[in-house]
Amino acid sequence: MKDAIGAGQLGGGSGTWGSELAGDLATASMEFFNLVAERSIIGRMAGLRRMPLLTRAISVIGGSTAHWVGEGKPKPVSAMIFGDSLLPSRKVIALSIVTRELLESSDPAAESVIRTDLVRAMTDALDGAFIDPANAGVADVMPASVVNGLTPSADLPGLVADFGGDLGSAVFVMNPATAAGLSSADRPNIGARGGEMLGVPTICSRNVPEGVIVLVDPSGVALGEGTAAVSISTSASVEMLDSSLQQDATDGTGTTMVNSWQANAVGILAERAINWQVARPGSVGFIAASSG
């Protein structure tokens, strides 16, 4: 009988066969999610309270108070109010099926088309879920937006007056069309690409409903981020839905199975574990589209 051949000897390769591909995918994943961060609200909002997923964390709901004390006077004691929070892992994915011919095309535009579309899809999913007041979340699937369930303020002065967060670190978030409509001689520093309003930095995203203006203190919002990866497959079978994909269509209602190998296709999957919640009440406020 012949001696057993080690895996490293197959095809004349080395024991690290495939490491180059793994390295390329790791680099591609990093570059892809860096692009998502550059375009998403979460990625552009500095100061979010970052914490690990699936880990219980202690947070201060009511902080201590400092006092001026006269000579020989007793020093007042202030009580801190603690709370604990745990962010379960939630998953957002973008899956695209393309032909091998397109993926292997020597035209640089082919790679750009695929990457741009997946970045757009991932950014839209994150932004819409994070900021849309109508997003009440889906149990065990998608977190509610940081605005959902809040009572809107009547107008911009009311929004600032009602805000319970720190205006010194807060940001406005709104639709580019809303920001462009606010631009005037009195507000020369705001426009469709953001800027600032009332001295507060402004982030624009097309996924914010027009007319909605959100004011967020990032330090009062907990953000948990887990694994982020881009993977490819040339042999997976994909279940095709017969109707448009809905958020709650998670049980697999399609009837057509398409094998990538048979169809000469490649599946590209971008996957991110992420979750958020408002950790300190009052850190988010908004004006509804119907408000003044």
Q: What residue has token string 């979340």?
A: 137
Crossing angle (nearest 10°) for helices 108-131 and 19-39: 50
Predicted local confidence at residue 14, as pLDDT: 39
Could you give the CA distance from residue 37 to residue 203 in angstroms, rounded to a whole number? 13
The stretch 94-116 carries a mean pLDDT of 81
Say whether pTM exceeds 0.85.
no
Nearest to 28 by CA among 273, 288, 268: 268
In a domain, residue 79? The reply is no
Predicted local confidence at residue 6, as pLDDT: 42
Backbone φ and ψ for 238, nearest 5 degrees, come out as -115, 130
In a domain, residue 72? The reply is no
What three-state secondary structure class fits 232? Answer: strand
Residue 234 has pLDDT above 70, yes or no: yes
Residue 266 has pLDDT above 80, yes or no: yes
In a domain, residue 10? The reply is no
In a domain, residue 81? The reply is no
Kind plus residue range of the DSSP H or E element containing 224:
strand 221-233
Predicted local confidence at residue 17, as pLDDT: 37
Q: Which residues contact 206 (CB under 8 A, 6 or more apart)?
A: 175, 176
The stretch 262-286 carries a mean pLDDT of 92
The stretch 258-283 carries a mean pLDDT of 90
Could you give the CA distance from residue 241 to residue 253 in angstroms, rounded to a whole number? 6
> Is residue 49 a contact partner of residue 223, using CB atoms and an 8 Å limit?
yes
CB atoms within 10 A of CB 230: 21
The stretch 57-61 carries a mean pLDDT of 63
Residues in the chain: 292
Residues forming beta bridges with residue 239, ordered by sequence position? 257
> Is residue 202 a contact partner of residue 172, using CB atoms and an 8 Å limit?
yes
The least confident of 4-13, 90-99, 124-133, 142-151 is 4-13
The least confident of 76-85, 115-124, 254-263 is 76-85
CB atoms within 10 A of CB 182: 18
Could you give the CA distance from residue 178 to residue 176 in angstroms, rounded to a whole number? 5
How far, in Å, are 20, 33, 116, 230, 272 from residue 27 at the CA level? Answer: 11, 10, 17, 9, 15
Could you give the CA distance from residue 230 to residue 210 in angstroms, rounded to a whole number? 32
Number of domains within the chain: 1
In a domain, residue 115? The reply is yes
Print the domain residue range for 233: 19-57+92-242+257-287
In a domain, residue 209? The reply is yes
Residue 11 has pLDDT above 50, yes or no: no
Mean pLDDT computed over every residue of the chain: 84
* pLDDT confidence bin for 150, thresholds 50/70/90: very high
The stretch 240-247 carries a mean pLDDT of 54
In a domain, residue 141? The reply is yes
The least confident of 74-88, 171-185, 189-203, 269-283 is 74-88
Nearest to 169 by CA among 257, 74, 253, 46: 46
Could you give the CA distance from residue 183 to residue 197 in angstroms, rounded to a whole number? 9
Backbone φ and ψ for 146, nearest 5 degrees, come out as -70, -10
In a domain, residue 5? The reply is no
